[in-house]
């Protein structure tokens, strides 16, 4: 019975100490607001707070928070008051970036719609190189290669321009002085508008290189 009572008293003591302990999440909330408002005007996540000298030992409401110095791009020094005591601390933070994730499996040649993507936020250090950060760069664009559901969309997943598939019939234009010669051909590889592509002339069977100026037009550069 005595042992049981001791355990109950110990549990009550732990609960009471937690109730009156300083809540670090509260200072993280305040410093997050201050960083977003005063410094970079972007959403951030606070990773760690380190106190300089001593830290609050009892529950209190932080007041008069002031950013003193930017130590490096992802760390700041700040002060605040709890009661009559001033505290100094350093907070490490990371900027959150908006990225876009595929909501379903997408096949090569699919046109991306609003329903195909979902917006999420991730710490900058966890965003892969080439990830697309602007929704306008995705909607209406064409998938270059098949991707699975749940993948962060990157630049190399989509065509940079309007794609034209290998095997498409095209009109081949050749300008000779003031004379324009036109013949029919077929693309020998995928291409995008403005790109130099190869096309096979249907009349002669020869391959020629030219600029894809429209979805069905190739202009030969002499």
- Here the CATH number for the domain that contains residue 111 is 3.90.1210.10
Percent of the chain with pLDDT over 70: 90
Based on the number of CB atoms within 10 Å of its own CB, is 30 exposed (0-12), middle (13-18) or buried (19 or more)? middle
Residue pair 208/195 in contact by the 8 Å Cβ criterion: no
147/139 Cα distance (integer angstroms): 16
Question: Which stretch of 39-48, 97-106, 124-133, 139-148 has the lowest confidence by average pLDDT?
Answer: 39-48
Is residue 178 in some structural domain? yes
Domain that includes residue 206, residue range: 163-220
Q: Any idea of the CA torsion for 35, 40, 45, 50, to the nearest 10 degrees?
A: -50
Number of domains in the chain: 3
Is residue 135 in some structural domain? yes
Mean pLDDT of the chain: 84
Verify that 75 and 103 share a domain, yes or no.
no
Is residue 9 in some structural domain? no
Closest CA to 206 of 176, 183, 190, 222: 183
Domain end (from 126, 142, 157): 157
Q: Which residues contact 186 (CB under 8 A, 6 or more apart)?
A: 167, 168, 169, 170, 199, 200, 202
Q: Is pTM, for the whole model, over 0.85?
A: no
Q: Give me the CATH number covering residue 204.
A: 2.30.30.760
Q: Tens digit of pLDDT for each residue in 84-129?
A: 899 999 999 999 999 999 999 998 878 899 999 999 999 999 999 9
Domain end (from 41, 66, 94): 94
Is residue 15 in some structural domain? no
Count CA within 13 A, CB hemisphere, residue 14.
6
Is residue 79 in some structural domain? yes
Kindly report each contact of residues 196-204 with a partner whose C-beta sits within 8 Å and lies 24 or more positions away, as own/partner: 196/221, 197/164, 199/170, 199/172, 201/172
Verify that 171 and 205 share a domain, yes or no.
yes
Verify that 195 and 142 share a domain, yes or no.
no
Verify that 177 and 115 share a domain, yes or no.
no
Question: Which stretch of 55-59, 84-88, 128-132 has the lowest confidence by average pLDDT?
Answer: 55-59
């Amino acid at each position: 019975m005595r042992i049981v009572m001791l355990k109950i008293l110990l549990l009550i003591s732990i609960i009471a100490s937690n109730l009156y302990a300083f809540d670090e999440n509260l200072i993280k909330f305040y410093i997050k607001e201050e960083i977003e408002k005063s410094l970079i005007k972007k959403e951030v996540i606070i990773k760690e707070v380190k106190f300089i000298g001593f830290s609050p030992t009892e529950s209190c409401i932080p007041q008069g928070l002031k950013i003193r110095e930017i130590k490096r791009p992802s760390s700041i020094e700040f002060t605040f008051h709890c009661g009559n005591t001033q505290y100094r601390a350093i907070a490490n933070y990371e900027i959150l970036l908006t990225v876009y994730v595929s909501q379903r499996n997408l096949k090569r040649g699919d046109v991306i719609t609003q329903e195909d993507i979902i917006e999420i936020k991730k710490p900058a250090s966890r965003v892969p190189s080439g990830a697309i950060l602007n929704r306008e760069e995705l909607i209406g664009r064409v998938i270059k290669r098949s991707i699975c559901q749940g993948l962060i969309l990157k630049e190399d997943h989509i065509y940079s321009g309007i794609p034209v598939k290998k095997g498409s019939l095209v009109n081949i234009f050749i300008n000779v002085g003031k004379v324009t010669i036109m013949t029919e051909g077929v693309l020998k590889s995928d291409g995008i508008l403005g790109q130099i592509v190869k096309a096979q002339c249907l009349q002669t069977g020869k391959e020629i290189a030219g600029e894809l100026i429209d979805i069905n037009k190739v202009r030969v550069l002499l």
